[in-house]
Structure 1
Amino acid sequence: MALVVVTAGVWFGYQRLTAPSCSGALPLVVSATPEIAPAVQAAADRWRADSGAVGDTCVAVEVTASDPVDVAAVVAGQHGVALAGVGQASGTAIAPDVWVPDSSTWLLRLSSLAPGFTPANNESVARSPVVVAMPEPVATNLGWPDQQLTWTDLLQQITTGTELRTGIVEPTRDAAGLSGLLALGEAAGEAGANAQQATTAALRALATGRSALREDLIARFPRSADPASVASALGAAALSEEDVIEYNAAQPPIALAALYLEPAPMSLDYPYAVLPGADPAKAAAAAGFYSVLTGAGFRERLGDQGLRAPDGTWGAGFSAPQGAPSPAGTAPATVTPDSGGTAAGGLDPVVIDRTLATWTSVTLPAQMLAVIDVSGSMLEPVPTADNVTRADLTREAARRGLGLFDDSWALGLWIFSTELDGEQDWRELVPISPLSSRRAELEASLSEVVPKRNGNTGLYDTTLAAYLAVQDEWAAGRVNSVVIFTDGRNEDDSGLTQDELLAELAEAADPQRPIQVIYVGIGDGVSQEELESITNTTGGGVFVTEDPANIGDILLKAIALRPTTVR
């Protein structure tokens, strides 16, 4: 009897000592990119076993493996913005309390568009350098592993050679693809007067081998050691180091080499972002869980997943590719758009925006009618651009844009003011035609974009006429759009009213033949609200810069606006 009593007492004491010191369950939803999700889940399990709590309340961490593009779409929708190439969120996607995407560039792109998106913490919890993945025989032919290659070397191979088959995951939807694209763009930018030509050539070469999904791209690497198979398969792609480690772990017939090109492109840095709107209890829970992800145990879990610690070094279980440096990768990123203009790898967020816009405009075939304002106000000089006129800047932006489009595009050009062609506010300079046959004519016609002194802005009549013209020429399988450059608001009292224009557009709109109406507003005389009332009816967008000197970047953003599907 005494033994039973003692045993029962010991068991009761043990139960009291090992019982959780918290009660209840405070849910904390964490969305993590798939490659890091297992390590995050293991850390959450360990924290729960150790009675992770906020005060006296237990924290129940729910980890979901979510592609960053899906979470980005949800967050963008919540803030009423659209990320280029991302599209609408799926019905099953949700906004978490904590988001661990693969790159801070997602946070940067969102925060630069939506001022209300101000995630907290944002510190890196892992790292994976972006490398150029090549089948080992291909890499050996380029001097690997003995020779240190640069992005300029790769650019030359892409733009002047014919043997290297390159590919990329759609960079508007993939952070590693974006990192590689930015690095190539920087190398092309060093080509001086030939920078735009080099950039366009590189983008077009990459576009021939692009994939919407990383898995699809990786599947195109050679599956046989036969030389003919190697020559016809994918030869180079910007991927993460983790992608290469995972691929080689399956022991394929031909392993991939990871080339760490110089200068190092921005790494995947896996930021720990506490999304806006968290109440104090959840914010405290998020802070507590973050401390778990900075411990030595998590570093070892990262190694098992082929990931490095935030400082670029690795722990046990990490299978380093041949020639992998340690530490490796770029400095941690900042996601504050007003923090001096830096992003992951020390990049300007404007550069990210411009690069993605250029990529979209170069790689997606389209049919576009460009309509340029030639009212008298376009003669106004621009102090920030050596006092050249607004019309001069617009012509130059159009000329540069024309250089980006390949012969798969179809393009037309109008000008407009008031009573430009009799009582008609617009005049056609070049009808919508394939660039393959009328590029020279379009370039020459830009010299006819000359403002009409004392001319007003016949915006509404011109918008309707341009919309109907594109509708008549509508082409399946392309993005069909009207791009209207203007520095003012409608000033044609004898033409359509705003209500009449909206009614006409609503009646003409055909969901089976969508047309994007895009306004590029120049200067402080533009009414964004007026223009948005039109694009809300037709689809499209409004891009306004008060400083006309920035029209080049604004034009790229406008052209990059694409529907999520092309009919």
Structure 2
Amino acid sequence: MSSGQGRPVPPTRRSDRRSRRRGLAAVAGIVAATALVGGGCYAFAGSLGCVTRGALELNVTVAPELAPAIKAAADRFNGQRHVTGGRCVEAVVRSADPQAVATLLSGSGSSRDAGSIPDVWIPDSSLWANLTPGDGSDGSPAAVRMPQPGFSIAETPIVAAVPRSVRGVGATAPPSWERLLTSGGSKARMPDPGRHAVGLGTLIVIRSVLAGDRDATAKFTGIVRGLRESVVPDVRAQFARGVGDRVLITSEQAVLGHNRDRPAERLQVVRPAEGTVVLDYPYTLVADDEDRSAAARLFEREVRGGQTRQSLRALGLRTTGGTEAAGMGLLPVPKAEDVRQALQAWAKLSLTTRMLSLIDVSGSMIERVPGTRATRLQVLAQASQMGLALQPDDTELGQWVFSTNLDGRRDWRENVPLGPLGERIGSVTRRQRILSALSSLRPKPDGDTALYATVLAAFTHMRETYKPDMVNTVLLMTDGRNDDPDGPTLSRTLAQLRKEYDPDRPVQVVIIGFGDEVDRNELEQLARATHGSVHIAHTPADMKKIFLAGTARRVCSPRC
């Protein structure tokens, strides 16, 4: 039955089969190698080459809240052994506050936190790209071209966070931004606009929602002055100090993180009625070197990938388009000029005030104000008390009263020396001392109004004691006009004010005239000589608006 077992294969035919198999394997190897090289995937050969040529280190700097997701992306990327220019690419991720990096990139300063200029930068917002110096046309430094933001890898809206103890906010209908920032006995807490995009974005929102309002400047000023007292460096500091009963202006991502870590102090996210802006986390290419740019584009693919998007969502961030998909109203993207103007306004409005208050105590101040039982002096004292309430404890304030021959032959008297309101003078603070002095003011029955002499003395005092990091102002409150026959003339007073005024060390004279007997023309000439302003009031109700309007002039000072 040997035929049933089949015939043996001759040795020569077995050899042919083995030869064919070896040949096919060799061809397959050649084809595979050709496909790898031809397809651009030269990881194997490249990885051998980069051992001798060294790695190309791609420096990636990200906003701190992104760090876990982007570092995980870098680990995956580095494990894939990407090669460019014959060198293996190694992505190195570090976190730094975006403001510090923006300062470094714009050429306006350096920062220990930012370190060196990165190849890729992922800040929290595209707004930082607008914070470059001017074009030199106004005397400012020439512009430094900032890298333009790329695609958004994630987003989170700016929202209000309300603790359970604050009742009624957003319970029935979304509140307005103005209500969130100004209502209630507790001031809203916001990150510093000069240091964090949440604060900067909030300024953009305020200016946007107030656009077209007849009292926009005064309202913006009032909101900013209120926020200034409770501003914190960044979002992390908002929660580190404890929430209490404050409304926090922060990011949605920060609220979600807080609620996850501190479930006993959960916060409610309130989305204001007018809409909001988002932090958009742009992937920004900084490097202009060809190899580094190529490496950055390789890393971009990993950042765009599904695993990174999943990691970002796990951190409480929305992936691109998530805010709109959630039905949240978005305000228009601000222009670069709007961003710069908002930050400049903040810088001026949040400067500490240094003010010498001059209060008229001449004989006419004893007259009654029509429709009230108060004297003119009492109305001015009440106005000063309202103005005092607008000032934080680091405001430097002093008080003089004036008439004629009030202190011997001198026409003014110092009631309270100039200094911080929170500073103690004996057993009380300067604020308390000023309040006490205001309540005890009495007119000099036979006194005239030594307006010119007092203004000159106060202006000279403020100029000689000028502090460059403060807004230096003389605030004059009067019900009349100069009637001091022994004092300087108007022309001499104006000439001296113009001679002493220094736009690089500006001291402005701001005047509040009360009643119908003031000489507005006279007051405006005095104020104009120092780029100051004049405000006429007829009722106590006018005073708060006047104090806000006077503060708002900082935005255009000293050119207004």
What TM-score, normalized to structure 1?
A: 0.54
Contact preservation (8 Å) 1:111, 1:118: no
Q: How many Å apart are 1:295 and its aligned residue?
A: 2.0
Does residue 181 of the first structure (1) align with residue 173 of the second (2)?
no
Report the residue type matching 1:353 in the other structure: R
Q: How many Å apart are 1:19 and its aligned residue?
A: 4.9
- Alignment partner of 1:142 out of 169, 191, 206: 169
Match of 1:346, SS state, is coil
Task: Note the alpha carbon deviations across 1:200-252, whole angstroms, 9 max, x for none.
Answer: 22112212211124322223444xxxxxxxxxx24212111110011011134
Task: Note the alpha carbon deviations across 1:153-211, whole angstroms, 9 max, x for none.
Answer: 425xx15x43x43111111111011212322333344531x222222221122122111
Report the residue type matching 2:285 in the other structure: V
Match runs of 1:406-421 below 5 Å? 408=395
Report the residue type matching 1:66 in the other structure: A
Task: Note the alpha carbon deviations across 1:422-467, whole angstroms, 9 max, x for none.
Answer: xxxxxxxxx9989999xxxxxx99xx9xxxxxxxxxxxxxxxxx9x
Question: Structure 2 vs 1, CA of residues 137 and 481 (structure 1 numbering), >3 Å: closer, same or farther?
Answer: closer
Match of 1:210, SS state, is coil
Match of 1:202, SS state, is helix
Question: Structure 2 vs 1, CA of residues 409 and 248 (structure 1 numbering), >3 Å: closer, same or farther?
Answer: same
CA RMSD between the two structures: 4.6
Contact preservation (8 Å) 1:123, 1:271: yes
Does residue 271 of the first structure (1) align with residue 282 of the second (2)?
yes
What CA distance in whole angstroms lies between the structure 1 residues aligned with 2:75 and 2:222?
49
- Partner in structure 2 of residue 237 of structure 1: 248
Contact preservation (8 Å) 2:130, 2:339: no
Task: Note the alpha carbon deviations across 1:37-94, whole angstroms, 9 max, x for none.
Answer: 1111111111122222225322111100111122122223xx2x36xxxxx5238722
Question: Structure 2 vs 1, CA of residues 205 and 54 (structure 1 numbering), >3 Å: closer, same or farther?
Answer: same
What CA distance in whole angstroms lies between the structure 2 residues aligned with 1:273 and 1:111?
20
- Alignment partner of 2:230 out of 193, 206, 209: 209
Q: How many Å apart are 1:518 and its aligned residue?
A: 6.1
Match of 2:301, SS state, is helix
- Alignment partner of 1:42 out of 72, 78, 96: 72
Question: Structure 2 vs 1, CA of residues 147 and 358 (structure 1 numbering), >3 Å: closer, same or farther?
Answer: same
Does residue 53 of the first structure (1) align with residue 79 of the second (2)?
no
Task: Note the alpha carbon deviations across 1:287-336, whole angstroms, 9 max, x for none.
Answer: 221122122222111112111112226xxxxxxxxxx96265748xxxxx
Match of 2:154, SS state, is coil
Q: How many Å apart are 1:148 and its aligned residue?
A: 2.5
Task: Note the alpha carbon deviations across 1:511-541, whole angstroms, 9 max, x for none.
Answer: xxxx993699xxxxxxxxxxxxxxxxxxxxx
Question: Structure 2 vs 1, CA of residues 208 and 71 (structure 1 numbering), >3 Å: closer, same or farther?
Answer: same
Question: Structure 2 vs 1, CA of residues 471 and 95 (structure 1 numbering), >3 Å: closer, same or farther?
Answer: farther
What CA distance in whole angstroms lies between the structure 2 residues aligned with 1:61 and 1:558?
47
What CA distance in whole angstroms lies between the structure 1 residues aligned with 2:337 and 2:470?
26
Report the residue type matching 2:175 in the other structure: L
What CA distance in whole angstroms lies between the structure 1 residues aligned with 2:552 and 2:334?
16
Contact preservation (8 Å) 2:205, 2:276: yes
What CA distance in whole angstroms lies between the structure 1 residues aligned with 2:328 and 2:298?
28
Match of 2:277, SS state, is coil
Percent of matched pairs sharing the same residue: 26
- Partner in structure 2 of residue 255 of structure 1: 266
Does residue 218 of the first structure (1) align with residue 239 of the second (2)?
yes
Match runs of 1:361-380 below 5 Å? 361-367=348-354
Does residue 151 of the first structure (1) align with residue 177 of the second (2)?
yes
Does residue 128 of the first structure (1) align with residue 115 of the second (2)?
no
Match runs of 1:437-516 below 5 Å? 472-474=464-466, 479-480=469-470
What CA distance in whole angstroms lies between the structure 2 residues aligned with 1:206 and 1:294?
37
Q: How many Å apart are 1:360 and its aligned residue?
A: 2.5
- Partner in structure 2 of residue 356 of structure 1: 343
Report the residue type matching 2:223 in the other structure: A
Match of 1:123, SS state, is coil
What CA distance in whole angstroms lies between the structure 1 residues aligned with 2:345 and 2:329?
26
- Partner in structure 1 of residue 143 of structure 2: 115
What CA distance in whole angstroms lies between the structure 1 residues aligned with 2:81 and 2:328?
35
- Alignment partner of 1:283 out of 274, 293, 298: 293
Does residue 295 of the first structure (1) align with residue 291 of the second (2)?
no
Question: Structure 2 vs 1, CA of residues 29 and 197 (structure 1 numbering), >3 Å: closer, same or farther?
Answer: same
Report the residue type matching 2:208 in the other structure: E
Report the residue type matching 1:147 in the other structure: A
What CA distance in whole angstroms lies between the structure 2 residues aligned with 1:559 and 1:208?
24
Report the residue type matching 1:360 in the other structure: A
- Give unpaired runs (5+ residues) of structure 2: 1-24, 30-35, 37-41, 136-141, 357-386, 399-413, 422-430, 435-450, 474-501, 508-550
Contact preservation (8 Å) 2:353, 2:472: no
Q: How many Å apart are 1:350 and its aligned residue?
A: 2.5
Contact preservation (8 Å) 1:302, 1:308: yes
Match of 2:132, SS state, is helix
Contact preservation (8 Å) 1:518, 1:558: no
Question: Structure 2 vs 1, CA of residues 58 and 554 (structure 1 numbering), >3 Å: closer, same or farther?
Answer: farther
What CA distance in whole angstroms lies between the structure 2 residues aligned with 1:57 and 1:329?
47
Contact preservation (8 Å) 1:481, 1:518: no
Question: Structure 2 vs 1, CA of residues 311 and 20 (structure 1 numbering), >3 Å: closer, same or farther?
Answer: farther
Q: How many Å apart are 1:125 and its aligned residue?
A: 1.2
Task: Note the alpha carbon deviations across 1:346-396, whole angstroms, 9 max, x for none.
Answer: 213332222222222222214489xxxxxxxxxxxxxxxxxxxxxxxxxxx
Contact preservation (8 Å) 1:357, 1:557: no
Contact preservation (8 Å) 1:129, 1:329: no
What CA distance in whole angstroms lies between the structure 2 residues aligned with 1:58 and 1:287?
14
Does residue 97 of the first structure (1) align with residue 119 of the second (2)?
yes
Report the residue type matching 1:300 in the other structure: Q
- Give unpaired runs (5+ residues) of structure 1: 1-8, 83-87, 223-232, 314-323, 332-344, 370-401, 412-430, 438-443, 449-465, 484-514, 521-551, 561-567
Question: Structure 2 vs 1, CA of residues 143 and 121 (structure 1 numbering), >3 Å: closer, same or farther?
Answer: closer
Q: How many Å apart are 1:104 and its aligned residue?
A: 0.7
- Partner in structure 2 of residue 564 of structure 1: none
